[in-house]
Amino acid sequence: MRTLKYAILGLVSQKPMTGYDIYKEFDGPIGNFWSAKHSQIYPELKKLTQEKLLNYEMPESGESLKKKVYTITEAGAKELDAWLSEDEELAPTAKDVFRLRMYFCERMDPSLVKDLLLSQLDKHEDKLASLKSSMDEHYTKKPTKAQLGDYLVLSGAISREEAYCDWIRSCLPYFK
């Protein structure tokens, strides 16, 4: 399944976007649960255009390079809506190199394990603080309908980071 296809269709359904705009979205809220590289996005945009799920215009913008601004077609919107209505199977557990390392912690010096745990705790606490800051910045009131998806995913990312920090804290007493 080309999941990136649906991510792009969803983004463009919100507003017309250039390929660069789409790429930058993966540094924003979507980056909390999905990633895509420049080298993946542009070939997918080409396929979506060939499949008539997206259109593009190249508006006049002075002497600068012409940029394609993509919009979703009616067929694209129908395909996106069909995909959105599907129930999802439980995804396999995401790979986590740090947890894999901890699985074999008996082979390491306890002081090294403690240092690694504290380092990861710092990183996850920083990420948690950043997510909470984003929540405070964007959602002082109840989210609008257009903001609801971002709000729900941001809430989930905060919960994920809180749980990760809690797990690390629960590991630390074993390595005093």
The pTM assigned to this predicted structure is 0.79
Domain contains 138: yes
Burial class (CB in 10 A: 0-12, 13-18, 19+), 154: buried
Residues of the chain with pLDDT under 50: none
User: What pLDDT shows up at residue 64?
Assistant: 66
**For residue 68, what pLDDT is reported?**
93
Q: For residue 69, what is the domain's CATH number?
A: 1.10.10.10
pLDDT, residue 66, reads 78
Cβ-based neighbours of 17, under 8 Å, separated by 6 or more: 11, 25, 69, 70
Q: What is the mean pLDDT of the chain?
A: 93
Q: Which of 20, 52, 84 is the last residue of a domain?
A: 84
Q: Are both 79 and 9 inside the same structural domain?
A: yes
Model pLDDT, residue 117: 98
Place of tokens 């997510």: 131
**What does the pLDDT read at residue 63?**
63
Rounded CA-CA distance 167/99 in Å is: 10
Q: Is residue 91 part of a domain?
A: no
Rounded distance, CA 158 to CA 153, Å? 9
Residue 62 has a pLDDT of 65
Residue 92 within any structural domain of the chain: no
Same domain, 76 and 102: no
Number of domains in the chain: 2
Q: Rounded distance, CA 148 to CA 158, Å?
A: 15
What are 103-125's pLDDT values in tens digits? 999 999 999 999 999 999 999 99
The reply to whether 63 and 112 lie within a common domain is: no
**Same domain membership, residue 106 and residue 34:** no
- Give dist(CA 162, CA 109) in Å, integer: 27
